[in-house]
Structure 1
Amino acid sequence: MGTKSGSAVKLALAGALLLVPCGSLFAGGTAADSRQDGRTVRPPVERLSEAYASLYSQTLLEWIEKGWKDALADAPRAAANRFSAASSGVSVRSDRLLGKTGVLQFMQSKDWAEFEIDVPQDGLYTIDLTVLPLEGTLGPVQIGVKIDGAFPFAEARNIQLPRTWTESVYPPAVNEHGDQIRPSQQETSEWSVRPLTDSKLSSPGPLRWKLSKGKHTIRLESVLEPFALAELAVRAPRQLPAYEQVAASWQSLPDNVQPGWTSVLEAEQMSAKSDPSVQVQASNDNLAAPASNGKMIYNTMGGYRWSRGGQSAEWTFDVPSDGLYYIHFKYLQNFTKDAISFREIRIDGEVPFLELQSYPFPYSRNWNVDHLKDDQGKPYAIYLTKGSHTLGLTADSSPTTPIRESIQAIVDAYQELNRQVAMVTGVKNRSMVDQNRDWNLSESMPGIEAQVGSLADRLQQQVDKLQQLYGNSLQGAEGLRSVIFDLRKMAAQPDLLSKRPPELHAQNLEKMTMFIDALARQPLTLDRIYVTSSPEQPAKPPGTLAVLGDLVQNFFRTFSPDYHYYGRRDPDGIDVWVNRGRDYVALMQQLADESFTAKTGIKVNINLMPNPGQLILSNSAGREPDVALGIAEGTPVDFAMRGSLTKLSDFPDYAAMAPRFVPGTLIPFTYDGSVYALPETVALNVLFYRTDILQRIGLKPPDTWDDMYKMLPTLQQKGYDFFFARQNYVPLFLQNGASFYTNDGLSSALNSREAFNSFKMWTELFTVYGFPTEVPSFYMHFRRGDMPVGIADYNAYMQLLVAAPELAGSWEIAPIPGMKQQDGTVARWSGGNMTSGMIFKSSKRQNDSWEFLKWWTSTETQSRFGNEIELQNGVEFRWNTANVAAFQTLPWPEKDRDTILSQWKWYKEVPNVPGGYFTSRELTFAWTRTVLQNGNYREMLEKAVFQIDSELKRKQREFGFVNDQGNTVRKLRVPDVTIPWEEAGKR
């Protein structure tokens, strides 16, 4: 978190600056970097190939090798209103904004402003911005920085300026059962000085910028989120002293500490944090303080939610007098065996000495209490002046950056090798592999043995560096070792490269890329922080007896009827079961009490349903709830055809309520002409594309499937792939005009000409056009850049938004490709996963349940719930409501919101009919026989239709549509939508 404007750093560091070469801060190679039990905290940066020259680590290394050093003097500061040029969207405020005048506002993405800076000497500088995030989508401000018209390194394209958040209340409120309710988050709107760092703190400290003596133009470009700028400062980097140096300077200062003084900070009582997802957590045991005693008590913070580089938290504390103090942590770090989590530790906004820049928290199976200490176990005494101070910890992934970048280079080299093999053999998928043919790759690709062997050697070097970094054989590295074994085997027998299907090579690639992502994670759980006047341990960690005692207590608690508390049990309330997490349920109960019960007088018990299978058991036992929420789209009709659900469309006001949803979203919940559930959430398909890559190779995102076919040769010749999930066949059938069932719902309609064309198109994407059949993670491939365009849903959007901040501004979404119609419109029919809410027919409170379901799916409730769940848990919890009007009130970027609305009007899903589950099953079998077993597409689809019809007939007998003689008793009314819903785009 940044240093607050106007605040003074209270550490006495005068005369303690030890000039450490900037290269040692990142490139390694100094004695100061080898510490903490002899482990090398930061492995030296490895020189990578030219393809990675734009990385900050490589750029900084090049500058250092050319003799560039940290500057010793600051450049003159530039007030925001002294810009030399700006885009039309940038404006200077005429009034005061939180005490500052002459403020520059960046309100839209791609807004920019330039500043001329006169640099006093050649050198490497840091840049500080005095900024204020403005109201936006709750995410961090993201900007790009150009020097003299160019980005000096890749990370300069996306730099994050976090917002400041706090818990709305401490201690948390308590419900009627004694469980604490997770507090919502509130943003603290204040000016702060933000040193520019990379978005994930992959490099230690602020980024350095090479500037020669004289005038330079610094251009700030808005990427995401509006913000205000008050000042830009180009500064000489602050040189971090080693502890010995700064400790020596403190010896001459007055030391009036009170013997035996201790201040205990509850870690969950944070004074500020950079991200709402850095949350209070419940330990669910009595080993953290305060003890939970079987209740949900938020007595810790962090965990896996505090693991992304750059996520920070702060605590405020007071000391009674000037002097030397010691800081102790009660922490739990048991997420990956033998791994270390690193934290940058700040006092009053500054890292006091070099050893705290990437401080290690070793793996600890149980709770541990330890002080800040050096590699010999000697505690660090830190000088603090009398009064208030802040302690800040930031998740720091920089020690693993050299290893992660080197493994990524190996991944890319392995991938390039696979492309070369595919060009020689023509093998692009499993069906093309001929085990009886020998390609003799040693002759076709001279030196291939050395290439593969080199990959194995390079990967082994990174495993060795990990062992040196952590001081042990990291448990999570088995996947890398298996890849090394595989590579060595292929180096000895190169023809294995051609005889293995690409999917197996993809598994090796996935092992490495997933390990890269895991290595960047730095999880840590804190219970308490102690500031003491003595180095003695202020508290003992729970011992073996305490741990065993807690286990025994928890065992006996399992016999209590309240052990698994899933919600309220008021006998006067309607029972609502929710198939979602505890935080969702708690917030829903809160909103229901405040808004629904207060207005209607109807009490509601909202209960957690851990497993949707409970609905089947409750149905069998006759103990169903009144309402169920969070139900998968195929479930309601399964219950409806068995007479277990209420016909929602029979309620008098249903017709007035239904227009809040896109008509196509009601299709999966309609059975025999009646609607049995309402949609809650919807995950639409959209087209994802990397703007940077497509622009570089001269391509545009496809608007139609014909456009996609035209772009494929160029895309694939450049070594890229288009992502299309093999199970996502619905858009192809719908856009080709195919139906899945006949109008009476009694037979499959997949024997039509349109269906055969659709199936042929679907399978040829893989057999003719070489689409990969197995892609475990589109997100990883898209992020890496080898699949720069593809069709995916909401989950991929959130992954990219939250976990790939370095790509911000380099990717966009568009409606999926469609089929051009005779009138010139492009039909983009597509479905997407949904969840729903339904009322059980056994409920004795039908009208009350209907009132609740209307309230829950209303625009007001969905809007409030969506905003509050995101405030409470962070951007990754953005609510994908099915209520179109509510969706438009949630904090989506305007351009993305409009794209989603444009696709939403073409939403349509497959109807649900008795036995319809066989349709997806048999189509998948037909695809497998065609693509992987070289079957004839027409024969395979005909076989699938036969099997589907057989199952449909069996189920029709069961539910009375067909009698035992096979005669039709009654027909099924199958819903359909034939025109797009134009209301989806209106506001």
Structure 2
Amino acid sequence: MMNNPPRRRRRIWAIPVVVSLTAGILLTPSYANGTVTRGTLPNPETISIPAAASAEPIYSQVLKKWSEEGVKDANTSDIALSASDYANASAEVKPEPLAGSSDSVLLNEKQWVEYEIDVPQSGLYQLRLHYYSVEDSSIPNQIAITVNGKSPFVEAQSIKLDLQWKDEHYPPQADKKGNQIRPGQLAVKGWQERELMESSYASNEPLRWNLSQGKQVIRIQSVYEPIAIDRITLQAPGNIPSYEEAKKELKQEGGGDPNWYTALEAEQMSVKSEPSVQMQASRDDLASPESDGKIVFNTMGGSNWVRGGQTAAWTFEVPDDGLYKIDLKYMQNFNKGSNAYRQIRIDGKIPYEELKAFSFSYRRNWSMTSLGQSKEDPFLFYLTKGKHDLSMTVTNAPVTPIVEAIQYVSSEVQDINRLVRLLTGDNADVNRDWNITEQLPDAKQRLEKMRDTLNDVWAYMKELYGTEAGGTATIRDAVSKLQRLADRPNDLPTKLGNLTSVQETLSTFSLELTKQPLMLDQIYISKATAEIPDVTPSTWKVMTNTVKTFFMTFSPDYFDYGRQDGDAAITVWVNRGRDYVSLMQQMADEQFTPSTGIKVNVNIMPNPQLLILSNSAGREPDVALGLDQGMPADLAIRNSLLDLSQFKDYDSVAKQFLPGSLVPFHYDQGDYALPETIMFNVMFYRKDILEELKLKVPQTWEDIYVMLPTLQQRGYDFYIPSTNYVPFFYQNNASFYTPDGLKSGLDSPQSFEAFKKWTDFFNIYGLPQEVPNFYMHFRNGNIPIGLSDFNLYLQLLVAAPEISGQWAVAPLPGTRNENGDIERWGGGAIQAGSIFKSSENPEQSWDFLKWWTSTETQTRFGNDMEMFNGVEFRWNTANKEAFQQISWPKEHAAEINKQLEWFQEIPNVPGGYFTGRELGFAWNRTVLDNMNFRESLEGAIFEINRELLRKQQEFGFVDKDGNVVRKLDVPSVKPQVGGESEK
């Protein structure tokens, strides 16, 4: 009787949850079969973009210009050349037989080869290349093409040539609990032939090249990754018929079973263009096969199949010659109101014009659609008996006119912004009446042109999507702001913030627009007369699945947060996403547990503050990973962490890391964490712009002082993040704390000089005080050089294909020491792993932490993360040897490694969080309020010392009367060599 009331309360609580879930599901719209009629794409020429929108001509504008000049497609037979018959080449290139070809030529990065082609007729041609990817790298090969020494359009400077990949095995293997394990990725080696396309499939057709009759010189240069070629083919553009045109020629239905069909599981891909195009677990019972509460990889695509050019292919077999149709079970609930587009090929060819960019409309759940005008009016394909290939490639062609229009507006905004600042300075006087229309008489006209272009974009989007797509509000808001500025152009000096916000919001929208996510479950190939089963989930099926999924979240094996096996010896909490945690658990099960006998539970830690709560509750994990660099010291101060230096092999383990990356984790003669990742800073620069300005890459801060007038007089600038003060202090031999750790070290002459150098860049040299999006400014070229971190590197590598090969990295600017050598000290964010003092298994936890941070484990984890998820998931490991195994472009690797040797972060002491905060306040006072730099820094030092003293009294370093009870030891890193000599 005593147990009944609690049990009854639990029942009463559960019923409303189920009812609430059920009611919510029944109130949602029904899941239709996707009978959206697909018409032709809107005419991109309805968007008016002035011809001078870009500093370098883009392909669409060049193609339009050729059309206006009357240049037409050529009409000739193919012209094929052997790669070994080149007319000229860079010094190291020579014919090199490779993989069964006697005519191949190997091009390493930056090497080139030229061919003289006797063109029979003037006109537009397409190029086809027979190539072999030498490296099994997740970075695709990229080449550049010039014609007669010139690049005809910017896209020709970076053309992507993918490898082919496949899953190591299918179906995936399962662990002891029945959860499937994602298979490894294998590169499919061999020669491939493809027409040269724009890298992001911004165009539906292969690139066209305008060649005059007679001898023409075509140069092929490797941009990223070595590549071998053995045949180059020049061909006249082909014509792809519409379905209405082609169906008149379709052969009639053959024999065999008129009701025949076969279902392909979409996750069983034969090949794919990138290893990151992955099979996915749908996490519900609505996909095939059902998951039944387990991790089952039963779909493909989703957020890993979004970038233009990513291709997946499937092989199928038909029993007879005849007409067939193709149906797909898909989900596209990622971009509300928008479509996802795929280019469809059968046996390597696009059958009909409509399949150049086939749309998958937004649906909240799984839907069925036919390749055709609608489900009731499918396209028919004539297939011969036997095997065939179906491929689908992400294409951005339908949204390219929008993206290019936004790029035009962004470029114009930046140019107007630059011109206004040249007239008014960085801080225009708000009390002055400006007459901008005298100095910039075309300002009003330019603003109106931008407004008109965005109005065209709005109309194009409504025609493209048939509804108000997500993002049209952004367009309308930008139109409104531009209209207000066009009405009152003299307000520009004080309203530049409105202009900048237009650029920032449009640029963000443009980036999102080029993402085309789509998830596939099944592909049905059927006879034209066959009826296929309706596998669209019913409302009842969706409802029951939702309820079941809800109750699964109470299971200890629910895979959203990781595994909670009660038999495990140690528990690991990870402050990262599910993709990371799943792979870590898989690797621990495959490698660590079999070799040590130690079982591990790896779980997601959604918020690191949970460690503080768990400490209060006495329920800490054994190991915590992904901790920001300040947290281990904070926990160590509170006696929560294990001192790792007590283990006999700590010193040998610590040698795997850069000395400067261990500094933040040393506290009071103990070491409380091992670094996992390192967010280094380097200098980024646009090679093309610096060459145009005849500027050398700066080596020291003095070099920057020299180059700034040339940059700024031409409307360019240099970027230094206002929060990146570490290089100035460390390069000036300043210390953030005294050697005993009890006071700030910023009251030295070196520190005052460093602070003055830092703030002078903004006060005297006029660098922008705030740059909301350096990536966009660097990409567009108006800030062609600056300091940033690893995140920008990945953005440029992945999302800026149009400037591939035009940018590079270099170490941070340095300071000359007494010997004349250059010291380049700099810091960056670190994430680390620690062991809790409360762990009942400290030795096993140390074994795990050693295994996790080892070279072998970090190398495999980094490679797998990049393989499974793409280059944007590159693992910036802190392990020195594992870092060398990352597939960096060769021109970048050497420069990054130079900078890492000078890596050093700030030590952590009780109350040390005040240092960064007060330095930020001091910068604000000096730069924004024009306070004297010395007075401002002195105020910061006073506040830092007061907080340090308060914390030292709290933790027993100083008694209540201010007497020192015990001291700290503050580590520092000294250069192992005199410095870096300038080359």
TM-score, normalised relative to structure 1: 0.92
Deviations 1:493-535 (A, max 9, x none): 23331123x5543222111111221222211111111111147
Corresponding position of 1:26? none
SS state of the match for residue 844, structure 2? helix
What letter corresponds to residue 328 of structure 1 in structure 2?
D
Q: Is the alpha carbon distance of 1:982 and 1:898 closer, same or farther for their aligned partners in structure 2, counting shifts above 3 Å? A: farther
Contact in 2 for aligned 1:662/1:981 (Cα 8 Å):
no
**Paired residues for 1:257-268 under 5 Å:** 258-268=257-267
Give deviations 1:956-983, integer Å, cap 9, x for gaps. Answer: 1111011111221111111111225799
User: Match of 1:658, as an amino acid?
Assistant: A
When residues 209 and 248 of structure 1 are mapped into structure 2, their CA distance, relative to the original with a 3 A threshold, is: same
| 2:112 equivalent to 1:112 | yes
**Residues 234-271 of structure 1: CA deviation (Å, up to 9, x unaligned):** 111121111122211113x5523522211111111111
Among 518, 521, 529, which residue is 1:527 paired with? 521
CA deviation profile, 1:344-383 (whole Å, cap 9, x unmatched): 1000111011111111112222221110122796211111
Q: Do 1:579 and 1:609's aligned partners in 2 also have CA atoms closer than 8 Å?
A: yes
Q: Report whether the alignment pairs 1:854 with 2:850.
A: yes
The correspondence for 2:638, drawn from 639, 642, 650, is 642
Partner of 1:623: 619
Relative to structure 1, the CA distance from residue 459 to residue 881 in structure 2 (aligned partners, 3 Å threshold; closer, same or farther) is same
Q: Give the 3 Å change call, closer, same or farther, for CA 136–112 of structure 1 in structure 2.
A: farther
Which residue does 2:492 correspond to in 1? Answer: 497
C-alpha separation between the residues in 1 aligned to 2:86 and 2:685?
34
CA distance in 1: counterparts of 2:729 and 2:844, whole angstroms = 41
Aligned to 1:282: 281
Backbone CA RMSD of aligned residues? 2.3
Could you tell me which residue of structure 1 aligns to residue 330 of structure 2? 331
**Residue of structure 2 in register with 1:509 after alignment:** 503
Q: Check if 1:125 corresponds to 2:125.
A: yes
Inter-partner Cα distance in structure 2 for 1:645 and 1:584:
24
Q: Please name the residue that 1:609 is paired with.
A: 605
Q: Using the aligned pairs only, state the percent identity.
A: 49
Structure-2 change in CA distance of 1:509 and 1:575 (3 Å): same
In structure 2, distance between residues paired with 1:321 and 1:269 = 23
Q: CA deviation at 1:48?
A: 2.8
Whole-Å Cα distance in 1 between the matches of residues 50 and 285 of structure 2?
Answer: 49
**Amino acid in the other structure paired with 2:844:** D
CA contact (8 A) 1:199 1:310 kept: yes
Could you say which residue in structure 2 is the equivalent of 1:871? Answer: 867
> Following TM superposition, by how much is the alpha carbon of 1:222 offset from its aligned partner in structure 2, in angstroms?
0.8
Kindly state the Cα deviation for residue 225 of structure 1 after the two structures are TM-superposed.
0.8
How much has 1:434 moved relative to structure 2?
Answer: 3.0
CA distance in 1, matches of 2:489, 2:980: 55
- Partner residue, 2:30: none
The separation in 1 between residues aligned to 2:635 and 2:979, in whole angstroms, is: 31
Taking structure 1 as reference, are residues 822 and 66 closer, same or farther at Cα in structure 2, changes over 3 Å only?
Answer: same
TM-aligned CA distance change 1:322 to 1:981, over 3 Å: farther
Q: Pick from 482, 487, 493: which aligns with 1:487?
A: 482
Q: Secondary structure at the match of 2:127?
A: strand
Q: Give the counterpart of 1:977 among 965, 973, 976.
A: 973
Q: Counterpart amino acid of 1:76?
A: I
Moved more, 854-863 or 788-797: 854-863
Report deviation, 1:402: 1.9
Change (3 A) 1:447 1:984: closer
- Compare 275-284 and 42-51 and name the one that shifted more: 42-51
- Cα distance per residue 1:796-847 (max 9 Å; x no partner): 1111112222222111110010111121111111011111111111122222
> In the alignment, which of 750, 753, 773 is matched to residue 754 of structure 1?
750
Cα 1:451–1:42 shift into 2, 3 Å: closer
Distance 1:100 1:974 in 2: 62
CA distance in 2, matches of 1:39, 1:114: 38
Q: Relative to 1, partners in 2 of residues 1:304 and 1:600: Cα closer, same or farther, differing over 3 Å? A: closer
Change (3 A) 1:835 1:698: same
Structure 1 residue 546 and structure 2 residue 515: aligned? Answer: no
Select between 473-482 and 926-935 the one with higher mean Cα deviation.
Answer: 926-935
Gaps of 5+ in 2: 1-35
Change (3 A) 1:543 1:781: farther
Matches within 5 A, 1:74-93: 74-93=77-96
CA distance in 1 between counterparts of 2:395 and 2:653 reads: 50
Query: 1:777: Cα distance to partner?
Result: 2.4
The number of aligned residues is 943
On the 8 A contact 1:915/1:955 being kept in 2, the answer is: yes
Shift of 1:47: 5.2
Q: Distance in 2 between matches of 1:551 and 1:51?
A: 50
Question: In the alignment, which residue of structure 1 is the partner of 2:99?
Answer: 98
Larger CA deviation: 642-651 vs 939-948: 939-948
Alignment of 1:154-173 (within 5 A): 154-173=154-173
Cα deviations across residues 931-986 of structure 1 (Å, max 9, x unaligned)?
3333333333222222211211111111101111122111111111122579999x
Q: Distance in 2 between matches of 1:118 and 1:256?
A: 49
Distance 1:377 1:603, change over 3 A: closer
CA distance in 1, matches of 2:779, 2:792: 11
Q: Secondary structure at the match of 1:685?
A: strand
Aligned to 1:810: 806
Pairing 1:424-439 to 2, within 5 Å after superposition: 424-426=423-425, 428=426, 432-439=427-434
> Contact conserved, 2:261 with 2:532, CA < 8 A, in 1?
no
Mapped contact 2:822–2:979 kept (Cα < 8 A): no
Task: Work out whether residues 667 and 911 of structure 1, in 8 Å CA contact, stay in contact via their aligned partners in 2.
Answer: yes
Q: Secondary structure at the match of 1:220?
A: strand
Equivalence for 1:237: 237
1:384-430 per-position Cα deviation (integer Å, ceiling 9, x unaligned): 1111111111111011212211221111112111122112212x1xx
2:664 match: 668
The Cα shift of 1:44 comes to 5.2
Choose 75-84 or 968-977, whichever is displaced more: 75-84
* Partner SS for 1:585: helix
**8 Å contact kept, 1:581–1:608:** yes
Give the Å deviation of 1:232. Answer: 0.7
Among residues 758, 767, 770, which one is paired with 2:763 in the alignment? 767
* 2:647 maps to 1:651: yes
For 1:932 and 1:823, how far apart are their aligned partners in 2? 37
Residue aligning to 1:452 = 447
Deviation at 1:157, TM superposition (A): 1.0
Higher mean C-alpha deviation, range 228-237 or range 115-124: 115-124
Query: Gapped runs of 5+ residues in structure 1?
Result: 1-33
Mapped partners of 2:345, 2:964: distance in 1: 77
Corresponding residue for residue 51 of structure 2: 49
Contact 2:300/2:519, CA 8 A, preserved across alignment: yes
* 1:556 alignment partner in structure 2: 551
Letter in 2 for 1:177: K
CA distance in 2, matches of 1:258, 1:89: 60
Matched residue, 1:256? 255
Q: 1:751 to 1:503 in 2, by over 3 A?
A: farther
Match of 2:414 in 1: 415
Structure 1 residues 556 and 522: alpha-carbon distance in aligned structure 2, compared to 1, 3 A threshold: same
1:38-97 CA-partner distances (Å, limit 9, x unpaired) = 752755574533353621111111112222221222243111222222222223224xx4
Change over 3 Å in CA distance of 1:732–1:257 after alignment to 2: farther
Q: Is residue 137–residue 892 contact of structure 1 (8 Å, CA) maintained in 2?
A: no
Instruction: Give the structure 2 partner of residue 968 of structure 1.
Output: 964
Q: How does 1:861-900 map to 2 (within 5 A)?
A: 861-900=857-896
Equivalent residues of 2:409, 2:503 under 8 A apart: no
Taking a change above 3 Å as real, the CA distance of residues 385 and 849 of structure 1, as seen in their structure-2 partners, is same
Question: 1:197·1:207 contact (CA, 8 Å) conserved in 2?
Answer: yes
Larger deviation, residues 879-888 vs 380-389: 879-888
Aligned to 1:904: 900
Corresponding residue SS for 1:176:
coil
- TM-score of the superposition, structure 2-length normalised? 0.92
Distance 2:40 2:61 in 1: 26
Shift of the alpha carbon at 1:194?
Answer: 1.3
Are the counterparts in 1 of residues 76 and 235 from structure 2 also a CA contact under 8 Å? yes
Q: Does 1:387 align with 2:390?
A: no
